[in-house]
Amino acid sequence: MPVSPDAPRKIREKLATGRLPRDAPPMTATGPGTGNLCDGCDTPINPDQMQYEFESSDRRFIRFHVWCGLLWEAYRREANRA
C-alpha cells in the first residue's frame, strides 16, 4: 500500500497534538519495512518499502515511510521555529 494521500495533514495534526515528537532524534535507522503501521500516515510499511525508525525521548519507537519521515522532519522544524 502506498503512503496515504492525507499524510501531510495527519503528520501536522499529530505534531500539533503531541502524538509525534518535535525533538530531533539522536540516532535513526533505516531498512525494509516490517509491516508495522507508519506513525505518520497510519498505513503499513511493507517489506518492499523503506522504513525510517528512531526511539523518541519518551522511549517510544517511531516508524515512518521515508516520505512521511521527510514530511515530519520539515514540519517539525517549521513548528519549532514558530
> By three-state DSSP, how is residue 66 classified?
helix
Nearest to 30 by CA among 62, 56, 52, 46: 52
Pair 24, 55: CB distance under 8 Å: no
Max Cα–Cα distance, the chain, nearest Å = 36
29, part of any domain: yes
Q: How far, in Å, are 20, 46, 47, 48 from residue 11 at the CA level?
A: 8, 19, 22, 22
**pLDDT (0 to 100) of residue 4:** 82
1, part of any domain: no
2, part of any domain: no
19, part of any domain: yes
55, part of any domain: yes
Supply the pTM of this predicted model: 0.91
pLDDT, averaged per 10 consecutive residues of the chain (82 residues), comes to 84 96 92 96 96 94 96 93 79
**pLDDT (0 to 100) of residue 1:** 53
Counted domains in the chain: 1
What is the span of the domain harbouring residue 65?
7-81
